Structure 1
Amino acid sequence: MNQPNVYNLLQSLVEDIAQNDGDYNTAIPILSIYRRSAVTDPMPCIFGLGLGVTIQGGKRVTLGNEVFNYSSGQALINSIDLPVVSYVTQATITEPYLGLRLDLDANLIVQIAAEMNTSGICKGGPLRAMSVIALDDGILDALTRLIRLLNEPSKIPLITPLIQREIIIRLLDGEHGPMLQHLATVGSPSHQISQVITWMKLNYINSISINELAAKAHMSSSTFRQHFRTITGLSPLQYLKNLRLQDARHWMLYEDMDASSAAIRVGYESVTQFNREYARMFGEPPLRDIKRTRALIN
């Protein structure tokens, strides 16, 4: 059971930083903090390898047809980049949603798993790359020390890597360890799919076939489809479409690109198809969605 003083200290530190609603990037590049005083609309986004912690309130993430709810003292951990829909489900002015995001490093996970000799005991088929976990006192304490480090800027470059290693060690040693172990096990289906996803993120604007992706994973097309859906919750083509639509939205939202230009830039040959799939994913056609989102940001 979590020690109240550890959890309360972490909450107090986050409240001191996030005194108003918003996203707070910190002097520690892998650490971000969030505050919301009301529930939010569902927002498609991509969650990278990392740990999303709810400190107060509640949050929901959907991946394909799966729903992940996590509230105070819980975290969402994912081992590869995944296109999800995310929104705050519990937040008020008096008890706002408070959360933090800690990015993890795949190479460091592989290195530490090898040092712990965990990759050799990884058995079974691929595991879903996302799950909700309860935070134990060890991880809560490490996160608390990481945030307190913001008060000692000169020590951040020296101590942050040590705390990051500690958190990865505790994650690998916990109930959620097998998921990260699969990622770290070279030759495992999870590792092969992870490598393919890295390639897809760099090449998604090009025409890509399932056979080409399967060959990169050293699998048959049917086995590749099965493992890909098991790990990501999506088919390879659904994942590819999500990458394209998310990037197009970024270009329109932050670079003032019009819908037709954004569609072509991310690999769509038909602007009509782009508009239709965009509205299906984001709930509105491009122009209305960008206008609404800018109003929320500002």
Structure 2
Amino acid sequence: MPESLPDILLRHTKGQPEQGAYATAVDGLTILRSDHPKPPTYRVSRPGLCVVAQGAKWAAFGDDRLEYRAGQALLIGVETPSIGRVVEASPDRPCLVLMIELDVALLRGVAEDMAPPPRASAKPCRGVFVTDFQGALADCVLRLARLLDTPRAIPPLLPGILREMCYWLLAGPHAGDVARIALAGSPTRPVVDAMQHLRERFREPVRIAELAALARMSASAFHRQFKALTSLTPLQYQKRLRLMEARRLMIVHACHVETAAFEVGYESPSQFNREYARLFGAPPKRDVVRSRATFAGDPAERKKDGASAARAVMGHLSREGLR
């Protein structure tokens, strides 16, 4: 009997000296394994498909919390701050997730080849949503996972499988939302471009009028579409980027609280402390001590350093694993 997706992911992680994120021979494909429920992780999620093969997780974007479990996938269409947590896992049945990085340009190219082309949703859509993982899309991802057993087959077969995956996303139940995120002529694309501008300059004071002008929208329309995509206002989005970067500076580079606050654009230490505690559940110094203790107690993470340590602590997605 052919192996199932959980079987494949379990086999590729079983017996390895640590649990967590496992890079694979397929660029942009990462296996996440957790043998126990974990505390929340804070990350800036990039476009990707997070397929739960076993167990359960939740992810929060702004005030919206999305739960997804075996048989479901989280589709992330825009780069946005998030909080995630493994909630169902045990040594006998670990939580197994296959993370697939999405190439928005490839999605766009596949959409242009479809006849008739997919139609973008007429109303502002969410940039992140949960979808059932079944049928042709599930078969496509299973074949992608099977490539791990035959590395020589990856170069000739991977491009076709990724294109097929994009097709099923554009032809599936959320096709309108996927098209609105991906298509060049979609009303959402200018908002995504302005969002990138905000990420590149998150340390600077944000001016909604400037971002709206970049998107060629009124300030009210831009604000409405931005929040629909990310579940955050532009100011909330910027604040989370600042706080997550400050946390990284303190944990990984041992920056003092005031130095980290200044580096990310805060002028008031007291405001920084208040907003930090509101997001992470503790004042900066206490949170850093707690996070370092967690890091030091994990033998897998003690082996990592530099940028890898930053990824481990911050939980960011990257091509190698959690960035």
1:227-275 deviations in whole A, cap 9, x for unaligned? 1112211111001111111122222223332322222222112222222
| One-letter amino acid of the counterpart of residue 40, structure 1 | K
The answer on whether the counterparts of 1:62 and 1:84 sit within 8 Å (CA) in structure 2 is yes
Q: Which runs of 5+ in 1 are unaligned?
A: none
The answer on whether the counterparts of 1:119 and 1:181 sit within 8 Å (CA) in structure 2 is no
Once the two structures are TM-superposed, the CA of residue 144 in structure 1 deviates from its matched residue by 2.1
Q: Please state if 1:51 is matched with 2:49.
A: yes
What is the SS of the residue equivalent to 2:157? helix
Structure 2 CA distance for partners of 1:149 and 1:123, relative to 1, 3 Å = closer
The answer on whether the counterparts of 2:249 and 2:255 sit within 8 Å (CA) in structure 1 is yes
Residue matched to 1:127: 125
The answer on whether the counterparts of 1:74 and 1:133 sit within 8 Å (CA) in structure 2 is yes
Q: Which runs of 5+ in 2 are unaligned?
A: 299-323
Residue matched to 2:181: 183
Residue matched to 1:82: 80
**Higher mean displacement: 282-291 or 124-133:** 282-291
Once the two structures are TM-superposed, the CA of residue 42 in structure 1 deviates from its matched residue by 2.2
Q: Please state if 1:11 is matched with 2:21.
A: no
Highest RCO, 1 vs 2 (Cα 8 Å, sep ≥ 6): 2
Partner Cα distance (1:100, 1:294) in 2: 27
| One-letter amino acid of the counterpart of residue 4, structure 2 | L
Residue matched to 1:91: 89
Q: 2:234 aligns with which of 233, 236, 244?
A: 236
Residue matched to 1:204: 202
Residue matched to 1:273: 271
Q: What TM-score results when the alignment is normalised by the length of structure 2?
A: 0.85
The answer on whether the counterparts of 1:47 and 1:83 sit within 8 Å (CA) in structure 2 is yes
Once the two structures are TM-superposed, the CA of residue 164 in structure 1 deviates from its matched residue by 1.3
Q: 2:64 aligns with which of 60, 63, 66?
A: 66
1:100-149 deviations in whole A, cap 9, x for unaligned? 21110111111111111565632412111111111123222222222222
1:162-197 deviations in whole A, cap 9, x for unaligned? 211111111111011111100223343321211111
| One-letter amino acid of the counterpart of residue 198, structure 2 | M
Residue matched to 2:214: 216
What is the SS of the residue equivalent to 1:127? coil
Q: 1:158 aligns with which of 137, 147, 156?
A: 156
**Higher mean displacement: 241-250 or 255-264:** 255-264
Structure 2 CA distance for partners of 1:154 and 1:260, relative to 1, 3 Å = farther
1:188-226 deviations in whole A, cap 9, x for unaligned? 332121111111111111222111111111111111111
Structure 2 CA distance for partners of 1:21 and 1:264, relative to 1, 3 Å = same
- Map 1:275-290 to 2 at 5 A: 275-290=273-288
Partner Cα distance (1:98, 1:252) in 2: 30
**Higher mean displacement: 10-19 or 139-148:** 139-148
Q: What TM-score results when the alignment is normalised by the length of structure 1?
A: 0.92
The answer on whether the counterparts of 1:189 and 1:227 sit within 8 Å (CA) in structure 2 is no
Structure 2 CA distance for partners of 1:287 and 1:156, relative to 1, 3 Å = farther
**Higher mean displacement: 252-261 or 275-284:** 252-261
Structure 2 CA distance for partners of 1:225 and 1:118, relative to 1, 3 Å = farther
1:77-104 deviations in whole A, cap 9, x for unaligned? 0110121211011112221111121110
Partner Cα distance (1:259, 1:25) in 2: 33
Structure 2 CA distance for partners of 1:257 and 1:163, relative to 1, 3 Å = farther
Q: 1:113 aligns with which of 111, 114, 119?
A: 111
The answer on whether the counterparts of 1:120 and 1:185 sit within 8 Å (CA) in structure 2 is no
Structure 2 CA distance for partners of 1:125 and 1:118, relative to 1, 3 Å = farther
CA RMSD in angstroms comes to 1.8
| One-letter amino acid of the counterpart of residue 132, structure 2 | A
Structure 2 CA distance for partners of 1:227 and 1:12, relative to 1, 3 Å = same
% of aligned pairs identical? 35
Q: Aligned pair count?
A: 293
Partner Cα distance (2:69, 2:249) in 1: 32
| One-letter amino acid of the counterpart of residue 23, structure 1 | A
| One-letter amino acid of the counterpart of residue 268, structure 1 | Y
